[in-house]
Amino acid sequence: MTASYASLGVTPIINVDARMTFLGGSLMPPEVLAAMLAAAETYVDVFELQARAGAHLAAITRNEAAYVCTGAAAGMALCTLAARTGTNLADIARLPLAPDCPSEIIAHRAHRVPYSRAIELAGTTLVEVGDAIRTEPFELEAAFGPRTAGVLYVAGQHLSRAALPLDQVVEIADRFGVPVFVDAAAQLPPVDNLWRFTEQGAAAAIFSGGKDLCGPQSSGLIVGTTDFLAGVVANGAPHQRIARAMKVGKEEIMGLVAAVERYLAIDHEQRYQECGAIVDRWVAGLAHLPGVEATRNEINSAGQPMPRVMLRLHDRDVASLRAAMRGRTPSIAIGRHDSTTCSLTPECLADPAEADTVLTALLDELGGGRS
Ligand SMILES: *Cc1c(COP(=O)(O)O)cnc(C)c1O
């Protein structure tokens, strides 16, 4: 018997929530699966594979250098290691304590996300600047000191209100000779974000392979300058150094290469239109229901230009609707925007036909079960 979700008794889910790791991130298209399968059938020198995959990914994403890692959180840890040690092997040998190496990463308080803790894996602490309302340039300037290793910038429209713009952060960090690296894990689309942050002067930008790129779930892409990425390579697998705990396999490397090639080739405008058409159908289908307000929103939960439905519930609890949808057959994961509003995102659907299944289930829950 072949192992399957069914053989383990694990329930398949239709995902209209978001590209969440706890829901499986994204689904790999055939060209990504084919690249992984082919990679699994042959031995190669993984140092050579990393170098050639990195050079190719750099060229197609308009960057100086690139590196495939196991995910954006691992990429943050690797960039922190690179910011601390560069390519200095004596320093790398002393990690994670490395008392002579700088040990602080500066970040906006407004950029604090659960993933920020990944930098602590590299033996550093986070120095927070600004507050939830605003950040002043002098606050950032005052945070630099002899222990500063780098600046972490978390990209995203939804996190930008109280933060300084990236180019200003880079300009200030440059004066102190400190690299800025960008957590851009979920900042695709638009596709040109693959080069936007590095063009603005960031030493590196980090993307999840398992979100909109639809690469392997345990993959990530770091793009950046030749200098900074040399430090990532020196710390990363296949070396038997501290970051070996985050090693990426040959299958993930090739899967991510195929995923980035595909992402650069697909028609993003057409995809936007297709997702928009599903959103319009959902809005129209839900419009007549009493006690709900369905509206089209042009921005998804990660702040990306991708349409979704905001479903405001006047007399039904968001948590109970989400639980009821998850409990159905097939099970459906819908998003929670806030205490009164759910969200429905078409971009994660395995098949456009699932859009009708979702609408039928919602009509049943919201129309049928009410007194
Ligand atoms: C998803 C996400 C991460 C983590 O990415 P993984 O590839 O799952 O490790 C980090 N930062 C942000 C902002 C994210 O959205």
> Which atom in ligand 1 lies closest to the alpha carbon of residue 73?
9
Ligand 1 contacts CB of residue 72 (under 6 A): yes
Ligand 1 contacts CB of residue 186 (under 6 A): yes
Question: Ligand 1 centre from 302 Cα, in Å?
Answer: 10
Cβ-based neighbour number of residue 96 at 10 Å: 16
Going edge to edge, which strands form the sheet with 65-69?
65-69, 220-224, 204-208, 180-183, 148-154, 104-108, 125-129
Cβ-based neighbour number of residue 288 at 10 Å: 10
| Torsional sign, CA 254, 249, 30, 301 | negative
Ligand 1 contacts CB of residue 69 (under 6 A): no
Residue 123: pLDDT over 90: yes
Residue 370: pLDDT over 70: no
Residue 125: pLDDT over 50: yes
Task: Identify the pLDDT of residue 230.
Answer: 98
Percent of the chain past pLDDT 90, that is, above it, reads: 96
Check if the beta carbon of residue 135 is closer than 8 Å to that of residue 129: yes
Task: Identify the pLDDT of residue 351.
Answer: 95
Six-digit token pair at 154? 């978390």
330-340 pLDDT tens trace: 999 999 999 99
Percent of the chain past pLDDT 70, that is, above it, reads: 99
Question: Ligand 1 centre from 42 Cα, in Å?
Answer: 30
Round to whole Å and give the CA distance between 146 and 100: 10
Question: Ligand 1 centre from 23 Cα, in Å?
Answer: 13
Ligand 1 contacts CB of residue 71 (under 6 A): yes
Task: Identify the pLDDT of residue 371.
Answer: 36
- Cα–Cα nearest to 181, from 261, 93, 111, 101: 111
Question: Ligand 1 centre from 281 Cα, in Å?
Answer: 30
Give the residue-averaged pLDDT of 46-70: 98
Ligand 1 contacts CB of residue 220 (under 6 A): yes
Task: Identify the pLDDT of residue 76.
Answer: 98
- At 367, the pLDDT band (50, 70, 90 cuts) reads confident
Ligand 1 contacts CB of residue 183 (under 6 A): yes
Q: Which residues contact 138 (CB under 8 A, 6 or more apart)?
A: none
Ligand 1 pocket test, candidate residues 69, 119, 208, 212, most atoms within 8 A of CB: 208
| Angle at which helices 46-60 and 226-235 cross, to 10° | 150
- At 358, the pLDDT band (50, 70, 90 cuts) reads very high
Burial class (CB in 10 A: 0-12, 13-18, 19+), 94: middle
Question: Ligand 1 centre from 131 Cα, in Å?
Answer: 22
Q: Peptide bond before 190: cis, by omega within 30 degrees of 0?
A: yes
Ligand 1 contacts CB of residue 112 (under 6 A): no
Ligand 1 pocket test, candidate residues 17, 112, 116, 183, most atoms within 8 A of CB: 183
Q: Which residue CA neighbors atom 11 of ligand 1 most closely?
A: 185
- At 368, the pLDDT band (50, 70, 90 cuts) reads low
> Which atom in ligand 1 lies closest to the alpha carbon of residue 113?
13
- Cα–Cα nearest to 294, from 250, 324, 334, 261: 334
132-162 pLDDT tens trace: 999 999 999 999 999 999 999 999 988 899 9
pTM for the complete prediction?
A: 0.96
Residue 34: pLDDT over 70: yes
> Which atom in ligand 1 lies closest to the alpha carbon of residue 156?
13
Round to whole Å and give the CA distance between 335 and 301: 9
Mean pLDDT of the chain: 96
190-239 pLDDT tens trace: 999 999 999 999 999 999 999 999 999 999 999 999 999 999 999 999 99
Round to whole Å and give the CA distance between 369 and 125: 51
Ligand 1 contacts CB of residue 185 (under 6 A): yes
252-304 pLDDT tens trace: 999 999 999 999 999 999 999 999 999 999 999 999 899 999 999 999 988 89
Ligand 1 contacts CB of residue 236 (under 6 A): no
Task: Identify the pLDDT of residue 26.
Answer: 96
- Beta strands 331-336 and 341-344 are antiparallel
Task: Identify the pLDDT of residue 369.
Answer: 46
Give the residue-averaged pLDDT of 112-117: 94
Q: Which residue CA neighbors atom 5 of ligand 1 most closely?
A: 72
Ligand 1 pocket test, candidate residues 22, 108, 111, 115, most atoms within 8 A of CB: 115
Question: Ligand 1 centre from 232 Cα, in Å?
Answer: 18
Residue 41: pLDDT over 90: yes
Q: Which residue CA neighbors atom 12 of ligand 1 most closely?
A: 185
Ligand 1 contacts CB of residue 115 (under 6 A): yes
SS (H, E, C) the chain: CCCCHHHHCCCCEEEECCCCHHHCCCCCCHHHHHHHHHHCCCCCCHHHHHHHHHHHHHHHCCCCEEEEECCHHHHHHHHHHHHHHCCCHHHHHCCCCCCCCCCEEEEEHHHCCHHHHHHHHHCCEEEEECCCCCCCHHHHHHHCCCCEEEEEEECCHHHCCCCCCHHHHHHHHHHCCCCEEEECCCCCCCCCHHHHHHHCCCCEEEEECCCCCCCCCCCEEEEECHHHHHHHHHHCCCCCCHHHHHCCCHHHHHHHHHHHHHHHHCCHHHHHHHHHHHHHHHHHHHCCCCCEEEEEEEECCCCCEEEEEEEEECCCCHHHHHHHHHHCCCEEEEEECCCCEEEECHHHCCCCCHHHHHHHHHHHHHHHCCC
Task: Identify the pLDDT of residue 1.
Answer: 74
